[in-house]
Amino acid sequence: MNSLWVLLWWVVILVLGYWVYASHVAKRVFEVDPNRATPAKMYMDGVDFMPTNKNVLFGFQLNSIAGAAPIIGPIVALQWGWVPALLWLGLGVFFIGWVQDFSSAMVSIRNDGDTFGALGYKLISPRARKILLTFVYFYLLLIACAFGHVITKGISHNAALPFPLLVVIAVAFLVGHMIYKAKTNIIVTTILAIALIFFSIWLGTVWNIKLSYNLVLICVLIFGYFSSILPVWRFIQPYNYSSVYVVYFGIIAGVIGILIGHKPMTLPAFTAWGTKIGPLWPLLFVTIACGAISGWHSLVSSTATSRQIENELDVRPVAGGAMFAEFTISIIAVIVCATAFADKAEYVKNLKNPVGIFVGGLGGAITSIGLPVSYAKALAGMMIIILALTIVNLVFRFMKVATAELLGDAIGIAKNPHLATIVALIITWVLVKTGTWLYVWVLFGGANQLMAGFALLLVTLYLVQKAKPYNYAMYPMFFMYVTTVCALFYTSFFKLIPAAMAGKKVFGNLFAAAVAILLIILALILAYDGWKAFKRLKSGEAGEPAEAAKAEA
Amino acid sequence: MAKKKNEKKKKSGGIVGFLRDFTYGMATHGMARHALKTRSSMEHLFILITMGDMLGIPILPPYYSLRLLPHVVPQITTWKRRMLREKDFVESMY
């Protein structure tokens, strides 16, 4: 089948999802009101609460939610075939993905811009905040491990990438210095940065540097350490700023390449109900997280975006629109990878290195616009590694804060940023070195989707409290909760523990299984508290949980 | 009708305006927010230095704090909002 037919599915989901279903929910369920004052207007403090143009916020939201996961998830899930992947992407974003992003922002807006911690405390139970924090810490750890491996494998298998990546890092420091210290014009700085990066990609294709897996892993962890410790303006921000143009160019060139090349889908449409990582349900639904539905988005929507929304009418284009844009990125990933290989065997051979699959796919599409193969492949490799490094950049920083928040009161030294970062780096190193990547990826997807389940639980409780129709959030919440808990349970008890018992990567597999079991326990506690809160709110007690009222008294 | 349409188009800036705002949002809005956060933490320090004079307790030599006071007063309302607001761990993310 020609790959252009896949775009028809994309159009159907986009039109029906965004313009019909989302519009209906915004009007009928949340009753968005352009005249209602948003927290950005009511509590404007010039920093966190600030009314912002919807187009700017759309770009900000998309940049904050879209990393490498909407690309890597579909690549891994192609082992079930591209039809199940496309079906889940489309139906997931239609019924659950945008619902979560949009509703999280709306619930936060209607609660004075409260974040999930505060909302969990108010709507579920006082311990919900602590549970959420513990959950987020291990969720971040799984992100660090999953992406740490992707980056390391990608760089160590592609000798064209180390040189331009070193240049990108050097350019980040240069851009930071030029903007903030030397006060150089931003346009001059940007042109210089873009020229240096794109030239270095070409130089990388002629000047190959082969690095070992272990060396690259250590370099990635050192990168994570400096991202966590250095001031944001010195490294993270200029890195994100200067590298975003590579991603821009890669996506635009890829889309044009798909349209020009319109190659046939060469991978099988459907392979089998069960694959190496497990059965289609529940595993496919956690393997593809971002692109269909992702809990990470709810954190962004309820923390940063909800406090900058100028008008309630903007929430659908900003939060919902960004989710559909990310869905588009996943569709591109499916097309380029399902058209890149001659047969399934070649694809499966490369499965341990998803970056390699993407490089072959997107690189092939970019050559359709006339770029040389070596340059196109290096550009595609740079794009995905940059996206993954952007996530690593943030994750260790957040883990440092979460450590201080979790343990800071009990153990004073946990507040030390260097120590907290080094502990996070060591745990990551251990899990990357000793774990099985495919299972770690599944656990990351499970944790991410479970986070979405929490978000939908909060939305459901809010709608119950306000006596509004809540089914559109409750059914997706049940689906996400059951699917993710089953996926975590299956992976830990049917894959990780048996593998460890058979003497295969004993420590890593047992450690990953322990993390999965911990996440399941936390999810069940929160589900129990959520059920009690549901009954309380349904019976008309609109106030805070009894424990919270007692604690405040 | 046509006038209204033109006004709407002018307000949103059309496709070029969208692309400009979108690119700014993707690339720079986060940086601008962080710059504002840095400034606000400086402001906290600044206000705490002059707090004594606002309360009538001379901590710094009055000459300096009285010179600083006019710069501080316009910020007091937003400063109070920021200081008194309950903060959550997820706020450190974005």
Structure tokens at A78: 């192609």
Chain A residues closer than 8 Å to B28 by CB: 241
State whether residue B93 sits within 8 Å of chain A by CB: yes
Report the SS3 class of residue A203.
helix
**pLDDT confidence tier of residue A16, bands split at 50, 70 and 90:** very high
**pLDDT tens, position by position, A360-375:** 888 888 888 888 989 9
Q: Does the distance separating the beta carbons of A241 and B92 come in below 8 Å?
A: no
Q: Does the distance separating the beta carbons of B89 and A401 come in below 8 Å?
A: yes
Q: Does the distance separating the beta carbons of A43 and B34 come in below 8 Å?
A: no
**C-alpha dihedral over A327, A396, A143, A428, to 10 degrees?**
160
Q: How far apart are CA A388 and CA A382, in angstroms?
A: 10
Q: How far apart are CA A429 and CA A306, in angstroms?
A: 35
Q: How far apart are CA B43 and CA B77, in angstroms?
A: 12
- Max distance between CA atoms of chain B, in angstroms, equals 64
User: Which of A41, A42, A43, A47 has the most B C-beta neighbours within 10 Å, making it the best mutation to test the interface with B?
Assistant: A47
- The angle that helices A373-407 and A354-367 make with each other, rounded to 10 degrees, is 140
Q: Does the distance separating the beta carbons of A118 and B25 come in below 8 Å?
A: no
Q: How far apart are CA A366 and CA A207, in angstroms?
A: 21
**Cα angle, residue A277 at apex, residues A272 and A280 outer, rounded to 5°:** 45
Q: How far apart are CA A475 and CA B94, in angstroms?
A: 29
Ranges of H-type helices in A352-505 = 354-367, 373-407, 417-434, 437-465, 471-490, 497-501
Which chain A residue is nearest to residue B76, measuring alpha carbons? A45
- Considering only the beta carbons, identify the residue of B12, B25, B85 that sits closest to A59: B25
For chain A, the structural domain boundaries read 4-44+60-114+137-546
State whether residue B41 sits within 8 Å of chain A by CB: no
Q: How far apart are CA A121 and CA A114, in angstroms?
A: 11
Closest by Cα among B90, B82, B71 to A47:
B82
Q: Does the distance separating the beta carbons of B94 and A57 come in below 8 Å?
A: no
b/e map A151-160, b = 16+ CB within 10 Å = bbbbbbbbbb
**pLDDT confidence tier of residue A553, bands split at 50, 70 and 90:** very low
Chain B residues closer than 8 Å to A237 by CB: 30-31, 34
**pLDDT tens, position by position, A33-83:** 999 999 999 988 877 888 999 999 998 899 888 888 898 899 889 989 999
User: What ipTM is given for this predicted complex?
Assistant: 0.78
Chain A residues closer than 8 Å to B21 by CB: 53, 55-56, 59
Q: Tell me the average pLDDT across A354-358.
A: 84
Q: Is residue A195 a contact partner of residue A365, using CB atoms and an 8 Å limit? A: no
Residues 6+ apart with CB under 8 A from B63: none
Q: Does the distance separating the beta carbons of A49 and B81 come in below 8 Å?
A: yes
Is pLDDT of B89 > 80?
A: no
Hey, which residues does A275 pair with through a beta bridge? A278
pLDDT, residue A137, reads 86
The DSSP code for A178 is I
